[in-house]
Amino acid sequence: MSDTQLTPIEIGLTAAIVAIEDHEPLILTAHSSDGLAGLPFGPFDAPSHRTFEIGLRAWVEAQAGLRLGYVEQLYTFGDRGRHAEAGDTGAHMVSIGYLALTRAVGGELAATGASFEPWYRFLPWEDWREEPPAIIARDIIPALTLWAEEETPETTRALPRRDRVRFYFGLDGAPWDEERVLDRYELLYEAGLIEEARRDGRPAALARKQLPALGTSMRFDHRRILATAIARLRAKLKYRPVVFELLTAEFTLTELQYTVEAISGRHLHKQNFRRLVETEALVEPTGVMSTQTGGRPAALYRFRRDVLQERPAPGLRVRSRR
């Protein structure tokens, strides 16, 4: 056996905790002394936590005062450099990322410096609800086009840079696929166009005199974890009734539509959406009218739980391409 001493590994738990307020998707952030926002993070303590998820729930409740409902594991994030600094010989931090959904937005958070922030602040190119974000045509595509033109013929990637730019950002007739959130983030990182790439010492970023202002950067690789969480949630909407984890027990169809739009990042045709809701039979009327809409009273609905026994993949199969 080699006498080389291996770098010790520590396991952390990182949570992308999502909520909806005033039709906006929010992510819980914890601000640190370096001025950067990050996702809530805590160590896994094997003697105290029987499972990773138990550990995640325990420290989120202890630190932020939140009792999480829906939680699912995303991925293990352990790239070299994610927590290290130059010359750092300490333990390497590997983080297990989680997606969590909560309705608790209005209450006071226990953690000092913790707050819910709009997730499109960090990934502004993902919000297509009104129109294609101006940042794409103004800043992203020109920079990515120049980067793609620098590619040498000896590339080992199955798809060359030019094709990835076209497919991921919906150019030249390619459709915009809202689920490719992580692909788009990774492309910007690879091209050295975001601050995280510069911090990690990516040559493409270090070679640039100035980086474009592409959203708010986050600590470590937390923006990558956020992109992973958004992609998972957008896909999950179509085959699991997770959207109801973000709504109150009773809601109007307009509130349901706004919530789906907030997550998917695109506008939905009202009548088509209501036909879809009727076809999927995910909700049922309560028989009560809401007077809180600011206009005509609207019917209140609730999630129809029987659908979970009726078919294996109940969800709102909204059109996946734009």
Q: Report pLDDT for 221.
A: 92
- Per-residue pLDDT, averaged over 15-21, amounts to 96
Q: 10 Å Cβ neighbour count for 113?
A: 11
Q: 124 or 292: which carries more pLDDT confidence?
A: 124
Tell me 177's DSSP state. Answer: B
Say which amino acid occupies 250.
Answer: E
Q: Report pLDDT for 106.
A: 66
Q: Which two tokens stand for residue 195?
A: 């601050």
Please, what sign has the CA dihedral across residues 267, 316, 243, 272? positive
pLDDT in tens, 181-218: 999 999 999 999 999 999 888 899 999 999 999 999 99
Element (H, E) at 263: helix 253-264
Q: Report pLDDT for 321.
A: 46
Element (H, E) at 272: helix 270-280
- Report d(CA 109, CA 117) in Å as an integer: 13
The pTM is what?
A: 0.92
Least confident of 131-145, 238-252, 287-301: 287-301
* Residue of 259, 194, 260, 191 lying closest to 227 (CA atoms): 194
Q: What is the CA radius of gyration of the chain?
A: 21
- Per-residue pLDDT, averaged over 251-265, amounts to 97
* Residue of 82, 79, 81, 57 lying closest to 68 (CA atoms): 57
Q: Which two tokens stand for residue 122?
A: 């960090």
Q: Tokens 């160590």 correspond to what residue? A: 43
What average pLDDT does the chain have? 89
* Residue of 163, 207, 202 lying closest to 183 (CA atoms): 163
- Per-residue pLDDT, averaged over 110-134, amounts to 91
